[in-house]
Structure 1
Amino acid sequence: MGETVPFPKNYAWYKKEAMDCFLTGRMEEAIPFFERAYKLEQDELLNTNYTTALYQVGDYQKAKEIADDKCSFYEKEESLAIFYTAILIKCHLFLQAEQALLFRKKKYPSKDTTEENWMAVQEMLEEERTKVELEKQKKIEHLIKEAYSLGNKSFAEQSTIMKELEKIPLGPFIEAAEPILSNPFVNGIIKATAIERLAMEHVKGHFDIYWIKEKRTIQPSVLTSIENNVIFQEVMSLLSERVEQDDPSLYQAMVQEASLHFFILYPFIEEVITSPLKWVELYQKRYDNFYLVASGSHSDTKKMEEWMHRVDQELIDLG
C-alpha cells in the first residue's frame, strides 16, 4: 500500500520516525519528530529518549526543560537520576548538581553497578566547574585587554564591551575602569556607566578621568548614581511638572535629551547646573523659540546655555 502518510496528529508516526533516527544514532534528525510527538503526548519513555537526543546534540538547556516535565519519574530510577544530574552539570547548575549527588546517598542504596556512574558524574562536575572558571578568567583577561583600546572602537562596540565588563567581579572591573576613564576617545556615556558602578560599590581611592576635554580626578566613594543625584531628580521633576501634561511627546523628547546630557556631565553635574529651573527653561526655549527664560542671573544662565551646547558637541564628537 506504500509508506505511512504523516497526518497532522499522527503520534504513532512521529514516534516511529523519531525512534528510527534515534536508534541509528541520527540524533539531529530525530529531534524534530520527537518534538512533534511530544506535543501530542507527554509519554515518560518518549520524554527520556527525547531528552537523550537533545543531550547528545549539546542542547542541554532544552534537555533540562523536557526532563523537568517528568522530574518525579527521573527521581524514581537511579540511572535516570544520574542522567539528570549530568544534565544539571552541563547546564552549569553546579549547586543543584551537588545537591543531587548528596541526595542520592539517602535515596539510593550503594551498588557496585551504579557507584562507578556516580563517581563519573562527580568527576564531570569537577571538570566542568574548572572549565567554566578557566573560561571566565580568560574572558575577564580579554575584556581588560579590550578596555585599554576601547577608544579605538565605535560607540556600539564600546557599549557591548561595557555590558560585559559590568558582569565581572569588582577587582578586575576596577583594573579595566582606569584606562577607560582616562581615555579621551571613550564615549562619556560609557565612562558614566563605569563611574556609577565604582560609586555604587563605594570604591575608595582616586581615579584620573578625561571629562569633556579636561583632565580631572574623581573619588567614587563620595559619589551617588545619576538617578540618585539631587539635581537630576529636580530637573526630571520640573520637566514632568511643566511639560508632561500639556505635551507628552515633547516631554519624552526632553527627558531623553536631558538623560544623555546628565550622562555626559556626570560626575560633575553640580558644577554645570547651578539652577535646575533655569536648566529646564533652556530645554523649553530650545524646543520653543518664543519661550522666554525667566529673569534672574543672566551670567549663570548664559554659562549653562554654553555648557548645554558644549555637551551637545561632545555627543556629536564621540558619536
Structure 2
Amino acid sequence: MNEKQLEKFKKAKDEVKNHDFNTATDILLDLYDETDDQQVVLLLGETLFMDQKYVGANRFVEDNFDVFLQQNFELLTRIYEKNHRYLQLRIIATGLQNEDKINLLEEIEQSEKEYEMKEPNSIASNAREFMHLGAFSADRQREVIKDAEMLPIKQYLAGSKISLIDPDVNPVWRMQLLNNLMRLEFDEPVDFIWIDNTKHQIIPKEVADVEQTNAFKEIQREVNETIGQQDPIKAAQLQVIIKVDMQILFPYIDQVVVEPHKWVEVIMQKMFGDVSKTTSDKDVLKWLSLIDSIMQTLVN
C-alpha cells in the first residue's frame, strides 16, 4: 500500500477499535477497490462479519477463499456457519487431520442443531423441495440443489440418494450430487442413474475426482503438447471445454476415455475445424454427441 492507502487502513483499524464496524467496512471497501493487499482483505472480512453483514461476508470470502483458508480459518468457518454453508464446511473438514478435523465436525454438528431448532420450517421446506427435485425445471433444479447445500447432513444425504435415482433429475445435476458425495468422502454404497440411463452403484469415497483421473491428466498433457506452446489461448479454451465434458462422464471417465489422444483430436476439430474429416473415431463422436445433448437440456 502507498502512503495514502496506509492512512486509510489506519483509520479503518481505529474505527474497528471504536466498534464502528460499519464505517470501517465502508473505508475498507473503498480501499479494496484500490489494492488487493491481504491486510485489507483480512480486515474487511472481519468487519463485514462483525457488522453482521453475513451474506456480504460470505460472498467476500468466496472471492478470497485461499487467503482466509490459509490465514484466518476460524473467521472463514464462522462466516460459513452463519450462512449455513454446511456442505462446504464438511468438504473442508475432509482436508483436515486428527483433532482439527474432529473439532470442526463438532462445530458443524452443533451449528446444524441450532439451525434445526431456530428454523425448522425453513429446513423442512428446503428438504421437501430437494426430495422432489425431479418435479422442477432444470433451472429450478439448480437453485434447489444450491439451497440444499445449506441443509443439515442427514437431510442432505437423504435428498441426494433419492435425487440420484430419479430419472427426471437432469443428468448434470445428478452428477454434481454424486461429485459432492465424493468430496464429502461418503463411504457407503450409493445407487445412481448415469448418463446411459441405467442404474449403477459406487462408493463415492473410492471414486477419483475429475482432475485426478488418468484420462484427464493425459488429455491435459496432449493439449499442452499439441497447441499449448503455439496458441495458449486456444489451449485454455480447449481445456475448459474438455473439463466440462469430463464432468459429465463422472464417475466413469477412465472407463470411457480409453484413448485420450483421440478425444483431443476430435474436440479440437469440433472447436476449430471440420469434424466431418474425422471418420475413425465414431465411439468418441457418440459420447460427445450424448454430452452435447445433455448440455442442451440446460438451455431448453
- Into which bin does the TM-score normalised by the smaller protein fall? 0.5 to 0.7
What secondary structure is seen at the aligned counterpart in 2 of 1:232?
Answer: helix
> What is the CA–CA distance in structure 2 between the aligned matches of 1:248 and 1:231, rounded to whole Å?
21
Matched ranges for 1:42-53 at <5 A: 47=18
Quote the sequence identity (%): 20
Q: Are residue 312 (structure 1) and residue 295 (structure 2) matched?
A: no
* Unaligned 5+ runs, structure 2: 1-10, 23-46, 53-77, 83-110
> What is the CA–CA distance in structure 2 between the aligned matches of 1:268 and 1:43, rounded to whole Å?
52
Match of 1:250 among 224, 234, 238: 234
Match of 1:179 among 162, 183, 187: 162
Q: Where does residue 288 of structure 1 map in the other structure?
A: 273
Matched ranges for 1:20-169 at <5 A: 47=18, 64-65=50-51, 132-135=115-118, 137-169=120-152
Q: Where does residue 234 of structure 1 map in the other structure?
A: 218
What secondary structure is seen at the aligned counterpart in 2 of 1:205?
Answer: coil
RMSD (Å), alpha carbons: 4.0
Higher RCO structure (Cα 8 Å, ≥6 apart):
2
Match of 1:302 among 267, 282, 285: 282
Label 1:289 to 1:222 Cα distance change in 2 as closer, same or farther (>3 A): same
What secondary structure is seen at the aligned counterpart in 2 of 1:227?
Answer: helix
Label 1:170 to 1:232 Cα distance change in 2 as closer, same or farther (>3 A): farther
Label 1:317 to 1:156 Cα distance change in 2 as closer, same or farther (>3 A): closer
More moved, 244-253 vs 190-199 = 244-253
Q: Where does residue 103 of structure 1 map in the other structure?
A: none
> What is the CA–CA distance in structure 1 between the aligned matches of 2:167 and 2:155, rounded to whole Å?
21
Q: How many residues are treated as equivalent by the alignment?
A: 210
In the TM superposition, residue 280 of structure 1 has moved relative to its aligned partner by 0.8
- TM-score norm. by structure 2 comes to 0.57
Are the counterparts in 1 of residues 211 and 217 from structure 2 also a CA contact under 8 Å?
yes
Label 1:42 to 1:262 Cα distance change in 2 as closer, same or farther (>3 A): closer
In the TM superposition, residue 275 of structure 1 has moved relative to its aligned partner by 0.7
**CA offsets 1:236-279 (integer angstroms, 9 cap, x no match):** 23222222322233223322221221121111223321111111
> What is the CA–CA distance in structure 1 between the aligned matches of 2:285 and 2:145, rounded to whole Å?
31
**CA offsets 1:140-183 (integer angstroms, 9 cap, x no match):** 43332112332333444333332333344433222111122112
In the TM superposition, residue 285 of structure 1 has moved relative to its aligned partner by 1.8
Are the counterparts in 2 of residues 239 and 255 from structure 1 also a CA contact under 8 Å?
yes
- TM-score norm. by structure 1 comes to 0.54
What secondary structure is seen at the aligned counterpart in 2 of 1:217?
Answer: strand
Label 1:306 to 1:139 Cα distance change in 2 as closer, same or farther (>3 A): same
Amino acid at match of 1:233: K
Label 1:245 to 1:147 Cα distance change in 2 as closer, same or farther (>3 A): same
**CA offsets 1:95-126 (integer angstroms, 9 cap, x no match):** xxxxxxxxxxxxxxxxxxxxxxxxxxxxxxxx
Match of 1:278 among 262, 269, 275: 262
Amino acid at match of 1:312: D
Are the counterparts in 2 of residues 155 and 187 from structure 1 also a CA contact under 8 Å?
yes
> What is the CA–CA distance in structure 1 between the aligned matches of 2:130 and 2:208, rounded to whole Å?
24
Q: Are residue 266 (structure 1) and residue 246 (structure 2) matched?
A: no
Label 1:275 to 1:140 Cα distance change in 2 as closer, same or farther (>3 A): farther
Q: Are residue 191 (structure 1) and residue 174 (structure 2) matched?
A: yes
Q: Are residue 208 (structure 1) and residue 191 (structure 2) matched?
A: yes
> What is the CA–CA distance in structure 2 between the aligned matches of 1:43 and 1:241, rounded to whole Å?
52
